[in-house]
A and B are shown apart, each in its own frame.
Chain A
């Protein structure tokens, strides 16, 4: 056992509550039990009010977020369909967009002909 433990027990001896003190606490407790709970009610009203305001704020935020979302979606390129080719005269194009939004246009040369390769 540590040396401080007997000292702790020795100094911790308690003089009990006297009869007046005991009765005083008991009376206060019973008076509190009989008292109307007005403070609790007002707190719960305040809590309801704050909760309502928060709920309204969240709802407003959701509505605002939804109204912004479509604009963002329409700005995205449609990668499922090939992009329409710009009007050209005799040139042939093939163009499409990558998922990252990069638009690629292949232009076919009408004059192009495959030469026969000659062996040296």
Chain B
């Protein structure tokens, strides 16, 4: 009887913690996922899978807003990376966007080109570029989130910018 009561209490505590975690971080995670994934549905699936993993392993989530955010971002990036790899295999023969098609609006073409360029970056570099250039996350924070040195973040940023520039400017000329 006492065991059941304790188990129920633990489950309630876990549910409360997960709810608080979700409320605190789901917007930012979705914003990040939406900038890294091709479609809105992909981004939503990545966020859902991130919180499902949190629900499966609540004990592995570190305590503290900053640490738990870093944990969630790492999980999200890993999930996105797995998705990109599957997508890359599926899209081996994908045709690049038709720039001369009059049915496409400029914004759609631009978005498609940016995503195509991002797709060509290695997963970690892509995540770093999105976090820094779009999300506005600082280098120290990115390094902490991904568990790597700030100098490595800077190196990926430098290489990523050069690659993006080469890919996008080449396409737009």
Contacts and interface: CB of A to CB of B under 8 A. Distances in A.
Q: Contact size class for B? A: 35 or more
Nearest to B44: A21
B165 A25 contact: no
B151 interface: no
A9 to B, nearest CB: 6
Contact of A2 (B19, B22, B165): B165
B16 to A, nearest CB: 10
A25 B114 contact: no
Interface stretch (A27-35, A53-61, A68-76): A27-35
A33 B58 contact: yes
Contacts, number: 87
B18 A33 contact: yes
Contacts of B133: 5, 8-9
A103 interface: no
B58 to A, nearest CB: 7
Mostly helix, strand, loop or mixed at chain B's interface?
Answer: helix
16 contacts: A2-B164, A3-B168, A4-B114, A8-B134, A11-B107, A12-B35, A12-B114, A16-B30, A17-B26, A28-B48, A29-B22, A30-B55, A32-B55, A33-B14, A33-B18, A37-B56
Nearest to A21: B44
B15 A17 contact: no
Contacts of B71: none
Contacts of A29: 18, 22, 48, 51-52, 54-55
Given A30-B19, A34-B11, A25 B110 contact: no
